[in-house]
Amino acid sequence: MEKINMLQGLLERLRDGVVVGDGGVIFALERRGYVDAGKWTPEVVVEHPEAVKQLQREFLRAGSDVIQTFTYNGTQDKLTRALGKNTISCQQIADKACRIAEEVAKKGDVLIAGSITKCASYKDGKGKAAVQAQIRSQLELFTKNKVDFLIAELYFHVEEMEWAIEEALKTGLEVAATMGIGGKGDLNGVPAGECAVRMAKAGAKVVGVNCMFDPDETVNTIKEMKIALDDAGLSPFLMTQPNGFFCPGAGKYGYLSCPEFPFALEPRVVTRFDVHRYARAVYNLGVRYIGGCCGFEPYHIRAIAEELAEERGKMPLASEKHKPWGKNLETSYNEFLRKR
């Protein structure tokens, strides 16, 4: 009962205001040593739950309205390939990730989103039934743990995304769907606009883009999506969760094609000011679910929440110390800093 209430909550929140997403959990945890950068699987939820909890808690304090379960790449096919057979199971991960998210969520008025993504079986060409079976194990645990809604994210092929949405809708939960694409479309060349239309037609109430490209490119991609949706007479909610690394000129693989990926991306990290610009730009385009992905640290999420404080009617916890656009320097003791 309560759950259904909450689910309405997501769509209502989007209708009435802005939902701030969370940031890049796997990238932050890789740096800190909990994730293998060749495999990118989420066994840390079992091995070091405290590390996950603490990072998600910081996102919450920074202003996130949603905590995504850390189940990225947590399908059994990927886990088996990464960790071997009979080790940590897909179910264990989904279960533990849900519990961590719940504990974090207790401290704030936030929604929990069960997160699914592309699986190895699609790339291996095993077909629709195999792909849907992979995510079904995760979805069952999300239902059991009563998450508030689902996010199908970072799909590289809109076909796999359609299968995922179809399967996800069987849970009865609402589905937000974001592709990992830029202006060149999906890996088969399906344009961004067409991807958006197909996601909406497949039943996703929230559609958009996440990861792979920087905020600037993402602004362009969501613009294309909006135009195509308008043309098709569709009006799902829009959602963007770009990555936090500048990669202008990158091809279809986005920031993966930067030679600095994944260990030396520091010079490409966006500043808080870049995030202010991004948040304002997508808000003006009509996007109402605004977050980040890989490279978005809690302070970047905070910049979204601060930029949209008026629209949301609230500031994130502790942000009273942040004055907009570097005003703090005016009280500096160093004359040359005050002058900036």
Nearer of residues 88 and 229 to a second copy, judged by Cβ: 88
Q: 247-283: string of b/e by CB count within 10 Å (b at 16+)? A: beebebbbbeebeebbeebeebebebebbbbbbebbb
Residue type at 62 in one-letter notation: A
- Please give the size of the binding site for a second copy, defined by CB under 8 A: 68
| d(C-alpha 194, C-alpha 181), whole Å | 12
Among residues 84, 125, 233, 248, which is the contact residue for a second copy, using CB under 8 A? 248
Q: Please give the single-letter amino acid code of residue 260.
A: E
Nearer to a second copy, 201 or 252 (CB): 252
Subset of residues 160 to 219 that bind a second copy, contact rule: CB under 8 A:
184
Q: Is residue 84 close enough to count as binding a second copy by CB under 8 A?
A: no
336 part of the interface to a second copy, by CB under 8 A: yes
* Interface with a second copy, residue 87, by CB under 8 A: no
To 5 degrees, how large is the angle CA 275–CA 269–CA 206?
50
Taking the complex as a whole, the smallest distance from the CB of residue 60 to a second copy amounts, in Å, to 11
Contact window for a second copy (CB under 8 A) among 91-99, 126-134, 231-239, 257-265 = 257-265
Alpha helices in 106-154, H assignment, sequence order = 120-123, 128-144
Q: How many CB atoms lie within 10 A of CB 44?
A: 25
211 is in an annotated binding site: yes
Q: What mask, x for binding a second copy by CB under 8 A, covers residues 123 to 152?
A: x-----------------------------
Residue 280-309 contact track with a second copy, rule CB under 8 A, x = bound: -----------------xxx--x-------
258 annotated ligand-binding residue = no
Q: Can you tell me the distance from the alpha carbon of 157 to that of 161, in angstroms, rounded to the nearest whole number? A: 7
Question: What is the number of H-type helices and E-type strands within the chain?
Answer: 15, 8
Pick the binder of a second copy from 37, 127, 227, 311 (CB under 8 A): 37
- DSSP symbols for 23-41: --HHHHHHHTTSS-TTT--
Euclidean distance between CA atoms 100 and 107, whole angstroms: 12
Q: Where does this chain bind a second copy (CB under 8 A)?
A: 30-39, 44, 47-48, 51, 54, 57-58, 61-62, 120, 123, 184, 247-253, 256-264, 266-273, 297-299, 302, 316-319, 321-322, 326, 328-334, 336-337, 339-340
